[in-house]
C-alpha cells in the first residue's frame, strides 16, 4: 500500500517536471510571438519582455517584413505552397508507380535502379549541389512549376525505398485475382494497389512535405532568385543581408511562416508521428 | 522456395513489363537529371579547374591536395566531428530518458509527446534565427553575443539541435519501448528484479535496434548539418592564423564547402567540388556502415 502511494507521488513529481520542461520547450515560439510586435531596437535588449508601452510596434514589423527588398512576401508564400504541393504530388505518384514496377517485375534493371536509389539516400546534397543547379538551369527547371522534377530526382530514394518495402509485403494473390478478372496493369495499379498503399502514401507524403517546405539550399541554388523566392529564402535574405538587420521584422515573418506549420502539425499530428517513425525505422 | 516465387509472380510480371515507359519512365528521367548526371559530373569536376562547367580543364589531383592542405577545412572537420559526438550522446541520452518516462503511464503523456516533437516541423534556417535571437537576448545582458566567442556558437548549436531532435528520437524510442514484451518485464518483476535492473537487463537489450537507428541518425544528421549552422552563426567568429589563413571557428563541413565555392579564387570551384567528394565519402561511409550493421543485426535475430 505504501509503495503504491510512493509510486503515485513519484509519478506526480514526474508530471510536474515534464510540465516545466514543456513550458521551456514552447518558450522559443512564445519569444517569436512577443518579439514580432516589438520595436526593432528593443528586440536585442529586452528579448524576454512583453511588448508593452514604448516597445509596442503594432503591425509595423509585419508590414516591413512583407515588403522587404521590394519582394512581396505573399509571392514567396505562393511559391512555397506551389513547390511543396506539386513536388509532393509528383513524388507520391511517380515513386509509387516506379516502386510497384520494381517490386513486381524485378528485372536486373529494376534491381540496379533500386540499388541506385538506396545509394542516393546516403549522398549528401553538397556532393551534387553545384552540378545539379547547373543542370536545372540549362533544362529550365528553375521555376516553381518545374523544380518539382528536381525534387523528384533528388528525393526519389527514400520514397522508393519505403514503397518497395511495403509492396513486397502485399500478398500477390490480390493483384493476380484482379488480373484474372481482366484488369490490365494500369487499372490494377490504380484501382487495387493504390488503395492498399494509402498508409505508406501518408507517411511518405508527410516526410516529403516537411522536407520540401523547410528546404533552403536546393531552391536557393536552383530557383531564379530575382523572380522566385520561397518563404525560407525570403527570411534568410531579410536576416542574412548585410547592414542593419531588422530583427523585429524577421520575427514577424518567422511567426507568419510557422503558424501554418503549427496548424498543420496540430491537425495531422497522429499521421506525422506515425510517418516519422515509419521513415526512420526503414531509413 | 525461390523457384516457386518466380513462377508465382509471372502473370503480373509479363503483363506489366511492357508498361515500362509509364511506370518507370518519369522517375528514371528525373533521377538522371536530379541525381545520376550531377553525381557523375561532380566526380569529374573534382579533378578539374573551372569557373563555368563548359570550360572545365582536367588538372589531376590538384583540387584534392588543396582541400587537404586547407586549414579551414581541417578545422571544419574536427569541429564537425566534435559537435557530432557531443550532440549524439546528449540527444540520445535525453531522448531515451524522456521516452522511458513517457511510457510509464504518466498523466498527459500525449500532450508532452506533442510538444516535444513540435520543433521538428520548423525548418533549420528559421530555427537558427529564432535561437540566435534568444541567445543574443541572454548574452546581451553580459554585453556579448553569440558570434563573439566560438564557445557560445558551439554550445548554442548543441542546445538548438537538442531542442529540435530530442522529440524525433523520442518518437523512435517510444515505438521501441512499446514493443518490449510485457510478460518479459513481468517475469523479471516476479523474479525480484528492481526497477533499474529491469531497465538495464530487460528493456535496454530489447530496444537495441531503436538505439542503433537513433545513433546513426544523429551521427549523419550531425555530419550533414548546414541550415542551422548557416543561420545561427554562419561560422563566426573568424580567427586569423599566422600565414594569413582566415578560419571561421564555428563552421562545419557542409558550410565550409558552400563558402569555398563562393570564393573568388580561380581554383575555388574545383576545390569546393573536391571537398564535396571527400564529404560524400565520409557521409556515405557512415551510412553504409549503418546499413551493414543493421543487416547483421537482422540476420542474428
The shortest C-alpha distance from B244 to chain A (Å) reads: 24
Contacts of A231 (CB under 8 A, 6+ apart): A73, A76, A77, A80, A253, A256, A257
**Is A210 within 8 Å of B121 when comparing Cβ atoms?**
yes
Give the cell for residue A93: 505518384
- Closest residue in chain B to residue A106, using alpha carbons only: B13
From A100, A235, A281, residue closest to B125, measured CB to CB:
A235
**Every domain of chain A and the residues it spans:** 74-242+261-282
Does residue B188 lie in a domain region? yes
Residue A56 phi/psi, 5-degree rounding, is: -65, 125
Using CA atoms, how far apart are residues B301 and B296, in angstroms rounded to an integer?
A: 9
- Domain A74-242+261-282, second-level architecture: Orthogonal Bundle (1.10)
The shortest C-alpha distance from B254 to chain A (Å) reads: 7
Q: What is the count of structural domains for chain B? A: 2
Task: State which residues form the domain around B278.
Answer: 65-300
Which chain B positions have a beta carbon within 8 Å of A235's beta carbon? 125-126, 129
The shortest C-alpha distance from A29 to chain B (Å) reads: 8
**Is B121 within 8 Å of A232 when comparing Cβ atoms?**
no
Q: Report which of residues B187 and A245 the model is more confident about.
A: B187
The shortest C-alpha distance from A15 to chain B (Å) reads: 7
- Is the pLDDT score of A212 beyond 70? yes
The region of weakest confidence among A69-73, A128-132, A251-255, B198-202 is A69-73
CA terminus-to-terminus distance, chain B: 21
Give the cell for residue B228: 542551422
pLDDT at B120: 86
Q: Tell me the per-residue pLDDT of A60-80, one tens digit each, with 9 for 90 and over.
A: 778 777 777 677 888 888 999
- Is the pLDDT score of A120 beyond 60? yes
Does residue B242 lie in a domain region? yes
Using CA atoms, how far apart are residues B98 and A18, in angstroms rounded to an integer?
A: 9
Q: Given pLDDT bands bounded at 50, 70 and 90, which one contains residue A283?
A: very low
Averaged pLDDT, A130-148: 87
Closest CA to A203 of A124, A270, A144, A248: A270
- Specify whether B188 is located in the same domain as B240: yes
- Closest residue in chain B to residue A154, using alpha carbons only: B34
- Specify whether B294 is located in the same domain as B180: yes
CB B57 within 8 A of CB B48: yes
- Specify whether B88 is located in the same domain as B41: no
Residue A124 phi/psi, 5-degree rounding, is: -75, 155
Contacts of A94 (CB under 8 A, 6+ apart): A152, A156, B26, B27, B30
Instruction: Note the helical H segments in chain A.
Output: 2-35, 40-45, 60-66, 73-105, 108-121, 125-138, 147-169, 172-180, 185-187, 194-214, 217-222, 231-240, 247-267, 269-282
- Specify whether B22 is located in the same domain as B119: no
Per the DSSP assignment, residues forming a β-bridge with A56 are A38
Average pLDDT over all residues of chain B: 83
Q: Tell me the per-residue pLDDT of B228-283, one tens digit each, with 9 for 90 and over.
A: 888 888 877 877 776 667 778 888 889 989 888 887 777 788 888 889 999 999 98
- Specify whether B155 is located in the same domain as B285: yes
Question: What is this model's ipTM?
Answer: 0.85
Q: DSSP for A164-211, please give it.
A: HHHHHHS-HHHHHHHHHTT--HHHIIIIIIHHHHHHHHHHHHHHHHHH
**Is A214 within 8 Å of B138 when comparing Cβ atoms?**
no
Using CA atoms, how far apart are residues A245 and A232, in angstroms rounded to an integer?
A: 16
**Is A18 within 8 Å of B258 when comparing Cβ atoms?**
no
- Specify whether B104 is located in the same domain as B142: yes
- Specify whether B38 is located in the same domain as B144: no
**Is A179 within 8 Å of B284 when comparing Cβ atoms?**
no
- Specify whether B97 is located in the same domain as B220: yes
Q: Tell me the per-residue pLDDT of B197-234, one tens digit each, with 9 for 90 and over.
A: 888 888 888 888 888 888 888 888 888 899 888 888 88
Closest CA to A73 of A83, A82, A63, A59: A63
Using CA atoms, how far apart are residues B237 and B2, in angstroms rounded to an integer?
A: 61
Q: Report which of residues B6 and A94 the model is more confident about.
A: A94
Most B-contacting residue of A18, A34, A119, A254 (CB-CB within 10 A), to test interface: A18
Q: Tell me the per-residue pLDDT of B122-152, one tens digit each, with 9 for 90 and over.
A: 888 889 888 988 888 888 878 777 777 888 8
DSSP assigned state of B70:
-
The CATH number of the domain holding residue B236 is: 1.10.3720.10
What region does B244 belong to: left with phi over 0, alpha with psi -120 to 50, or beta? left
- Specify whether B288 is located in the same domain as B210: yes
Does residue B51 lie in a domain region? no
Does residue B289 lie in a domain region? yes
Contacts of B142 (CB under 8 A, 6+ apart): none
pLDDT at A241: 62
Does residue B20 lie in a domain region? yes
Most A-contacting residue of B15, B27, B165, B235 (CB-CB within 10 A), to test interface: B27
- Specify whether B75 is located in the same domain as B33: no
- Specify whether B86 is located in the same domain as B26: no
Burial (CB count within 10 angstroms: exposed 0-12, middle 13-18, buried 19+), residue A46? middle
Averaged pLDDT, B1-25: 67
Using CA atoms, how far apart are residues A263 and A271, in angstroms rounded to an integer?
A: 14
Furthest CA-CA distance within chain A:
77
- Closest residue in chain B to residue A48, using alpha carbons only: B137
Using CA atoms, how far apart are residues A10 and B38, in angstroms rounded to an integer?
A: 57
- Closest residue in chain A to residue B210, using alpha carbons only: A281
- Specify whether B165 is located in the same domain as B199: yes
pTM (predicted TM-score): 0.85
Give the cell for residue B189: 518483476
Q: Given pLDDT bands bounded at 50, 70 and 90, which one contains residue A281?
A: low
Averaged pLDDT, B56-73: 82
Amino acid at each position: 500500500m505504501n509503495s503504491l502511494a510512493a509510486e503515485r507521488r513519484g509519478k506526480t513529481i514526474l508530471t510536474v517536471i515534464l510540465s516545466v520542461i514543456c513550458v521551456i520547450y514552447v518558450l522559443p515560439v512564445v519569444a517569436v510571438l512577443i518579439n514580432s510586435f516589438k520595436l526593432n531596437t528593443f528586440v536585442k535588449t529586452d528579448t524576454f519582455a512583453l511588448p508593452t508601452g514604448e516597445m509596442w510596434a503594432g503591425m509595423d514589423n509585419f508590414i516591413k517584413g512583407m515588403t522587404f527588398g521590394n519582394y512581396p512576401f505573399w509571392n514567396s508564400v505562393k511559391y512555397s505552397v506551389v513547390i511543396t504541393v506539386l513536388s509532393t504530388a509528383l513524388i507520391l505518384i511517380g515513386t509509387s508507380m516506379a516502386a510497384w514496377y520494381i517490386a513486381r517485375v524485378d528485372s536486373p534493371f529494376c534491381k540496379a535502379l533500386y540499388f541506385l536509389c538506396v545509394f542516393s539516400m546516403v549522398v549528401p546534397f553538397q556532393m551534387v549541389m553545384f552540378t545539379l543547379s547547373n543542370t536545372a538551369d540549362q533544362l529550365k527547371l528553375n521555376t516553381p512549376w518545374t523544380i518539382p522534377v528536381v525534387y523528384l530526382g533528388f528525393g526519389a530514394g527514400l520514397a522508393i525505398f519505403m514503397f518497395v518495402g511495403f509492396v513486397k509485403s502485399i500478398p500477390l494473390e490480390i493483384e493476380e485475382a484482379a488480373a484474372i478478372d481482366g484488369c490490365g496493369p494500369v487499372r490494377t495499379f490504380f484501382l487495387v494497389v493504390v488503395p492498399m498503399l494509402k498508409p505508406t502514401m501518408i507517411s511518405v507524403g508527410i516526410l516529403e512535405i516537411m522536407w520540401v517546405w523547410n528546404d533552403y539550399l536546393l531552391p536557393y541554388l536552383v530557383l531564379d532568385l530575382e523572380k522566385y523566392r520561397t518563404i525560407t529564402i525570403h527570411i534568410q535574405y531579410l536576416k542574412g543581408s548585410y547592414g542593419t538587420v531588422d530583427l523585429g521584422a524577421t520575427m514577424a515573418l518567422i511567426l507568419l511562416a510557422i503558424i501554418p506549420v503549427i496548424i498543420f502539425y496540430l491537425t495531422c499530428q497522429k499521421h506525422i508521428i506515425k510517418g516519422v517513425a515509419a521513415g526512420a525505422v526503414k531509413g | 522456395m525461390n523457384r516457386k516465387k518466380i513462377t508465382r509472380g509471372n502473370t503480373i510480371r509479363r503483363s506489366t513489363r511492357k508498361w515500362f515507359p509509364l511506370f518507370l519512365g518519369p522517375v528514371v528521367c528525373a533521377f538522371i537529371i536530379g541525381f545520376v548526371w550531377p553525381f557523375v559530373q561532380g566526380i569529374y569536376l573534382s579533378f578539374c579547374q573551372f569557373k563555368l562547367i563548359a570550360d572545365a580543364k582536367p588538372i589531376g589531383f590538384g583540387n584534392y591536395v588543396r582541400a587537404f592542405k586547407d586549414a579551414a577545412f581541417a578545422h571544419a572537420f574536427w569541429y564537425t566531428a566534435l559537435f557530432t559526438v557531443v550532440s549524439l550522446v546528449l540527444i540520445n541520452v535525453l531522448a531515451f530518458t524522456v521516452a522511458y518516462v513517457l511510457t510509464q503511464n504518466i498523466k498527459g503523456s500525449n500532450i508532452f509527446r506533442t510538444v516535444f516533437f513540435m520543433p521538428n516541423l520548423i525548418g533549420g534556417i528559421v530555427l537558427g534565427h529564432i535561437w540566435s535571437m534568444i541567445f543574443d537576448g541572454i548574452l546581451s545582458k553580459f554585453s556579448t553575443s553569440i558570434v563573439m566567442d566560438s564557445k557560445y556558437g558551439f554550445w548554442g548549436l548543441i542546445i538548438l539541435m537538442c531542442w529540435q531532435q530530442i522529440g524525433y528520437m523520442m518518437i523512435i524510442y517510444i515505438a521501441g519501448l512499446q514493443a518490449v514484451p510485457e510478460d518479459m518485464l513481468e517475469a523479471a518483476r516476479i523474479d525480484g528484479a528492481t526497477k533499474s535492473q529491469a531497465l538495464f537487463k530487460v528493456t535496454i537489450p530489447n530496444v537495441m535496434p531503436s538505439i542503433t537507428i537513433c545513433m546513426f541518425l544523429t551521427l549523419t544528421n550531425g555530419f550533414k548539418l548546414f541550415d542551422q549552422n548557416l543561420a545561427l552563426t554562419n561560422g563566426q567568429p573568424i580567427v586569423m592564423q599566422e600565414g594569413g589563413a582566415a578560419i571561421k571557428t564555428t563552421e562545419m563541413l557542409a558550410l565550409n564547402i558552400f563558402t569555398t565555392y563562393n570564393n573568388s579564387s580561380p581554383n575555388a570551384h574545383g576545390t569546393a567540388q573536391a571537398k564535396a567528394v571527400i564529404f560524400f565519402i565520409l557521409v556515405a561511409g557512415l551510412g553504409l556502415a549503418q546499413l551493414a550493421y543493421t543487416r547483421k543485426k537482422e540476420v542474428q535475430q
